[in-house]
Amino acid sequence: MSQALLQVQDLTVELAAGDRTLRPVDRVSLELGRQETFALLGESGCGKSMTALALMRLLPETGRIIAGSVRLGETELLALPEARMRDARGRRMAMIFQEPATALNPVMTVGSQLAETLARHRGLQGEAIRQQAIAGLEAVGIPDPGRHLGQYPFQLSGGMKQRTLIAMALAAEPELLIADEPTTALDVTIQAQVLRLLDDLKRRTGMGILLITHDLAVAAEYAQRVAVMYAGELVETASREAFFQGPAHPYSRQLFAALPGQAKRGQPLAVIPGTVPDLAAAFAGCRFADRCGQVLPRCHREIPSWAEVAPGHRVRCLLYAETIARAFLAADGRPAAASPPAAPESGAAAAPLLRVADLKVHFPIRKGLLRQTAGHVKAVDGVSLEITAGRTLALVGESGCGKTTVGKALLRLIPPTSGRVEFAGEDLSVLSSRALRQRRRHLQIVFQDPYSSLNPRMRVADIIEEGMTALGVAAEPSRRIAALLEEVGLSPDMVRRYPHEFSGGQRQRIAIARALAVSPRLIVCDEPTSALDVSVQAQILNLLRRLQADHGLAYLFITHNLAVVEFLAHRVAVMYLGRIVEQGSVEAVLGRPRHPYTRALLSAVPTLHPRTGREVIWLKGEMPSPAAPPPGCHFHPRCPEALPECRSHYPKARLFDDGHYAHCHLYPEHPGS
């Protein structure tokens, strides 16, 4: 009898798309053992999620499985009638979907959604359902689970929604859990908690986990085996140790080269040219050939078969049939080492382009029939920062800490409650609407989601020209738009297209072109790469870096990706519950963090080569509500190093070296502070 929990053999899926037939999953084979985490890696559009849906037999109406075998234990799932498959789905195998906001039913309470699973698959009724639902929420670390049973999804934070999805998936105690990008939109602290939770549950219950992700570091920390998928087929499979010591396929190696970080500071990131090929095509050779930097003439005409480069490490690549295979791999099997980091520009003597002093944004809480003000949400509560021309300040912190509100308040897209915002020596907070309109050409913003920030009914030319016309800088707009598209790496021929005709990375380039159209001096970048694959992220980061060098742009870069901060930023400010708790140069804050919250953020970041015994600082509970911040230091209820005085009054800034300070009672006050 086989010991494998899941055996997939030559799984093939076809999807009808108009008059074309796509093959998003093509002859995929894999095995997953009990208590094992198997990571499936690759770019968006390569077939990872469609593979998961096929395993669950949840394909869209236009999709069908045309070949293959899927065995869960000794059961052939593809042979089951739908009635029996419904019993297996949820009871023996479950899935955590990528986006919790859409996976949860918005008109049903958390308790009702859990009750459906418990009644259907475990036959529980009445009080037994309630008690089991409470136990399930407790198991995933949700505080006060009885109260949360009566809440709706919109009342939960992103991390709480994801935990609720996990509780629903685990309610019937499945043997197999499929987790499709379970942490993509989560902060590093919540991501660490969710992944540790899944790992603990796996060890405790014996289930197997198929983890679908494009985050290489997450796979490095939590998976035992890894497979890389490209254009519908697997191109490399290996143990975690073998893969991260020496990725063999050119595609895998280029994914590693595209990752940002401190070691690549001062040099462009490697990018993978082109895009994933059309999955309706009949492939005559290697599917990666058109994007491969080591392509051979035969790669275009021969379909590669599997080659074993080491025991258990297989790769689908013709290079390994050639004598150059040995030269292709580095001496130690790792990707080639990056050049040493470039020294950061000093720029210390330059006058700030933007100076923000004690910025506050408080939103009134209105209650009662007369809508009287009963309190305030202190989204931003006394933020001060400076940005010099040609330099980047990264603003980091958990979701809900006020980062995006700061960016919008600087541009007066949200009216500040108080404080001073000086741009080039002029206080923007006192300008009239007409005067502010003229200054807005110098301050632009690139929003997080290009899907919603671009008007779907407008063509690219109209999207870019709109701001130019509104601000009176529309001289020769057609020529200007063509030049802008070329500058951001798009073809001028694309001006007549609509946003839905572009990929996510291309949409973000259009958003950047729109911001550049009025020749700004400062751009607020609000999580511009958070939803992108590493290869597309590398293209956008290279573009932003080049534009800064060419035009002297200043960036306020809002992000929770600390690897991006290491690569792009000069200074970093760490924000918690409306206030900046630590600020300084990237080298000082990330290399010598002083505030306990900064140390917790850094400890939670997964790495490609995890150290044995690496200490992660687990923060207690959730971030408090900005409507009722704790007294004293706002971080003290979650701080593992809290002192008695932390509960009574907010700490003053403690200066450590040039421009590096933190608000923390752990350090003595600087004289004169």
Asked if 202 and 308 sit in the same domain, the reply is no
SS3 422: strand
Residue type, 527: E
Angle of helix 504-516 versus helix 460-470 axis, rounded to 10: 20
Instruction: Give the model's pLDDT for residue 613.
Output: 61
In a domain, 122, yes or no: yes
Q: Domain for residue 251, yes or no?
A: yes
Q: Are residues 159 and 285 in the same domain?
A: no
Taking the CA of residue 134 as centre, how many other CA atoms within 13 Å lie in the half-sphere pointing to its CB? 8
Task: Write out the two tokens for 88.
Answer: 């297996």
Q: Of the residues 296, 328, 360, which one is the last residue of a structural domain?
A: 328
Domain total in the chain: 3
Q: Please write the tens of the pLDDT for every residue from 489-528.
A: 888 888 999 988 887 778 888 999 999 999 999 999 998 8
CATH number at residue 158: 3.40.50.300
The pLDDT tens digits for 47-61 are: 999 999 999 999 999
pLDDT at residue 327 in the model: 46
Stated pTM of the model:
0.85
Whether residues 521 and 423 fall in one domain = yes
Instruction: Tell me, yes or no, whether 540 lies in a domain.
Output: yes
Task: Identify whether 336 is part of a domain.
Answer: no
With cut-offs at 50, 70 and 90, classify the pLDDT of residue 659. Answer: confident
Please give the average per-residue pLDDT across 457-475, as a whole number.
88
Q: Considering the domain boundaries, does residue 232 fall inside one?
A: no
Q: Are residues 319 and 429 in the same domain?
A: no
* Whether 201 and 172 share a structural domain: yes
Domain boundary among 289, 312, 328: 328
Q: What pLDDT score does 414 carry?
A: 92
* Structure-token pair, residue 584: 């300084």
pLDDT band for 3, please (50, 70, 90 cuts): confident
> Same domain for 435 and 527?
yes
- pLDDT tens digits, one per residue of 15-73: 998 888 999 999 999 999 999 999 999 988 889 999 999 999 999 999 999 999 999 99
Please check whether residues 369 and 438 belong to one and the same domain: yes
Residues 414 and 557 in one domain: yes
Q: Which amino acid is at 22?
A: L
Instruction: Based on the fold, state whether residues 362 and 300 are members of the same structural domain.
Output: no
User: Is residue 237 domain-resident?
Assistant: no
Nearest Cα residue to 557 out of 260, 275, 297, 154:
260
Judgement on whether residues 85 and 191 belong to the same structural domain of the protein:
yes
| Beta-sheet strands, E only, within 140-192 | 176-180
Q: Is residue 606 part of a domain?
A: yes
Domain boundary residue, one of 265, 294, 328: 328
Query: Is there a domain that residue 68 lies in?
Result: yes
Q: Is the pLDDT of residue 394 over 90?
A: yes
The answer to whether 660 and 588 have CB atoms below 8 angstroms apart is yes
Whether 297 and 376 map to the same domain: the answer is no
What is the domain extent for residue 635? Answer: 352-663
Distance CA 160, CA 141 (A): 9
Long-range Cβ contact pairs of 327-331 (< 8 A, separation 24 or more) = 328/294, 329/246, 329/248, 330/246
Half-sphere CA count of 112, side-chain side, radius 13 A: 10
Listed range (9-18, 231-240, 450-459) with the worst mean pLDDT: 450-459
Considering the domain architecture, whether residues 391 and 506 belong to the same structural domain is answered as: yes
What percent of the chain is modeled with pLDDT above 90? 57
